[in-house]
Amino acid sequence: MPSNEGCGPHVPVWNMIAMLTHSRNRAMPPKYPNITVQLIGHDSNAFMILGLCQRAAKDAGLPKGEIAAFYQEGTSGDHDHLIRTAMRWFSCE
């Protein structure tokens, strides 16, 4: 994955979610609002975020193709992109 420049692993994930949520367009609900991913309280490591999202998607019964599409989109940019992608796809707390 690309560098976490500007928001390294020392930045708590809840802080990143709060910053990104503030700028997020509230008119757009996540693609899967019924799938909740608990990011707060976990390591902000990209692999942890991907794993939590994939597990929640699998537990909710999302098809493998959709989970693969999330993975592809989430890993196509930097760390901030991954968090924004998670927030576009799922209800993140």
- pLDDT attached to residue 3: 42
Residue 7: inside a domain, yes or no? no
1 against 9, higher pLDDT: 9
83 against 17, higher pLDDT: 83
83 against 42, higher pLDDT: 83
Q: What is the tally of structural domains in the chain?
A: 1
pLDDT in tens, 13-71: 656 665 555 555 455 899 999 999 998 888 889 999 999 999 999 999 999 999 999 99
Residue 4: inside a domain, yes or no? no
Report yes or no: 43 and 9 within 8 Å, Cβ to Cβ: yes
Half-sphere exposure of 48 (CA within 13 A, CB side): 11
pTM of this structure: 0.74
| Domain around 88 | 13-24+34-92
Task: Kindly tell me if the per-residue pLDDT of 90 is higher than 90.
Answer: yes
